[in-house]
Amino acid sequence: MVVTVLRAAALSFVVGLLGCGQDQHGTAPGDEVMPPPPSANAVWVDDRLHVDVPVPIVTIGFSDEEVGALRGALQPHAVDHSYGEINQILPLEIDGLLRGDLNEYVPLSGDVYSLPVLPTAHYDLTQANAALEAAFQAQLDHVRLESGHFDANAMEDWLASQLDLQSATPTVVLLHLKRFGISEHGWHIQGETGHRAPVRVFGERYPLVVLDPSAVEDPWVGSNAEDFTRYTEASDTPVIARFVRYLTEFRLLQGPLYAPSQKPCHAITGIMAVKSTTSIAENFLRPVSEALVVERIQTSFEQLTGSDTYFDLKLIELPQDDLVLDLITRLEYGGFELLKGYLTENFERFHVDHPGCAEYLSIVVENDAASVPGWVVLYGYGAYDDDRDSRISASWVNDIYRLLADVESPLCISNCNTKEYLNLWEYLFAHETGHLLGQRHPHDVSSRSAEASSSDAFSSIWSNMSYQNEGRWIAFGQIDRNNWLRNRASLALLEAYEAGREDSPAWRAAMSAADRLDWEGVWEQLRSS
């Protein structure tokens, strides 16, 4: 059945994006620094870990009065997130599925639980001093592009070199360029295979995110940015403060979609199922197998987990290699439950085993024009069976999408002028598997404390969990990693508590690590015992 197996494996280490260190060097951002709490004040109360998290904020282009108003508006903010489970009644035999006995296999929505870690954000505002503001203004001249936008990548690199960044507490930079005589402007993000501009929020290649309320609105976010429109005056304090609180909920302290696995390693098998003999695009354009870079997918998971992670890619030709799989995948989204049942029943046949590791199966289907419904051209879905602890995602790319979006196609109407190739298959593997690992989109949360459950305001950050990037970057950002570590540690604490280990040396060591916001240390202490 399997034509080719490509394997990439990572040793256990933490990868800093673009070679960045955890502690950056540089000048102090201002004359007045509000000290963070002496410790995180970690305490386990009522089945939850209460912890204080400093949020460093550096303002550039804001007056003393404006910074004072922001300090008053940004009071401590508890972020009460939850996560869910998706369970499913699975068939004991696949015959019923093929007969169409669908009523037996209706999916069940699982319970929603409060995240065991309850962090409270403490905003520490620092106003950039005159020297840093002057250096920033000079840097603007160096990063101005011919398009009239500013180079977000170069500015992020520069800010990272100037600020004392700490990985556990990412820094927020608030910009307002009117102070420098700049009105109409936006930011340009260059990805691995394309760009996005104009945007007004960027960052996360480092433990750093930049908000520029004075930039033009990001046209991609449309009306789902909670009215974070352009603010020509830095004195729009209430709205800018709300912008920061949203950032805290949706990015800095974002909870998981599903519970992250507590196993020490991760075994991800990607299935690239190509209807090569029936696809117009596959026979007309470059083969999918040539457009897919396994190492780039592998690197994205290394960046997120820092644990032993394996990515094995199987290339399957349909229908000849698996007639049943071919028939089920023609149903596309409507057939996901059938597909999940089939993959679950045949899990060992599809999955490449790595003993002791969490198991993930992610399939991307290159569909043809006969798929139903044909107008659905690109999407994915991820869920898991918590009883088996196996996690499965599925994505589809149809002929019509490739013919309209692939720069090799004479029908191309997307990214054709710039000849930017969208790495859709890499993006779907990384994105949907990211969900299986517990990662959310940057536009959604499940929280009792959030002012909204969805906002596209932060979709331009450096993360393959964003819908906005469309494969332009196949990486998880530094804040993705921070959230993954904290959320994994959160569930480890709950497991230890439920096992009655509160009085153990490992628990005390884990609580000490939590007091330092060392979430990897929390997990290691509990795992080692």
Per DSSP, the residues of 250-285 read IIIT---SSPPP-SSEEEEEEEEEE-TTT-HHHHHS
User: Does the pLDDT value for residue 129 go beyond 80?
Assistant: yes
In terms of Cβ atoms closer than 10 Å to its own Cβ (0-12, 13-18, 19+), residue 190 is: middle
Q: For 459-470, what is the mean pLDDT?
A: 90
- Of 136, 152, 141, 142, which is closest to residue 186 (Cα–Cα)? 152
Q: What is the pLDDT of residue 193?
A: 80
User: Does the pLDDT value for residue 37 go beyond 60?
Assistant: no
Band of residue 522 on the pLDDT scale cut at 50, 70, 90: very high
Q: For 233-261, what is the mean pLDDT?
A: 91
Task: Summarize pLDDT for 178-233 with one digit per residue, the tens.
Answer: 999 998 999 999 988 888 999 999 999 999 999 999 999 888 886 677 767 777 77
- CATH says 4-14+259-477 is which class? alpha beta
CA atoms within a 13 Å half-sphere pointing along the CA-CB vector of 328: 24
Q: β-strands 82-88, 107-114: how paired?
A: antiparallel
Give the SS3 label for residue 222: coil
Task: Summarize pLDDT for 277-310 with one digit per residue, the tens.
Answer: 888 888 888 888 787 888 989 989 988 998 899 9
Single pTM value for the model = 0.87
Q: How many separate helices (H) and strands (E) can be counted in the chain?
A: 16, 18
Judge whether 69 and 236 are in contact, CB under 8 Å.
Answer: no
Task: Summarize pLDDT for 313-331 with one digit per residue, the tens.
Answer: 999 999 999 999 999 988 8
Q: What is the pLDDT of residue 513?
A: 97
Task: Summarize pLDDT for 404-423 with one digit per residue, the tens.
Answer: 888 888 888 877 877 777 78
Q: For 352-375, what is the mean pLDDT?
A: 85
Long-range contacts of 413-420 (CB under 8 A, 24+ apart): 415/194, 418/194, 418/195, 420/193, 420/194, 420/195, 420/472
Band of residue 507 on the pLDDT scale cut at 50, 70, 90: very high
Every domain of the chain and the residues it spans: 4-14+259-477, 481-528
Judge whether 174 and 240 are in contact, CB under 8 Å.
Answer: yes
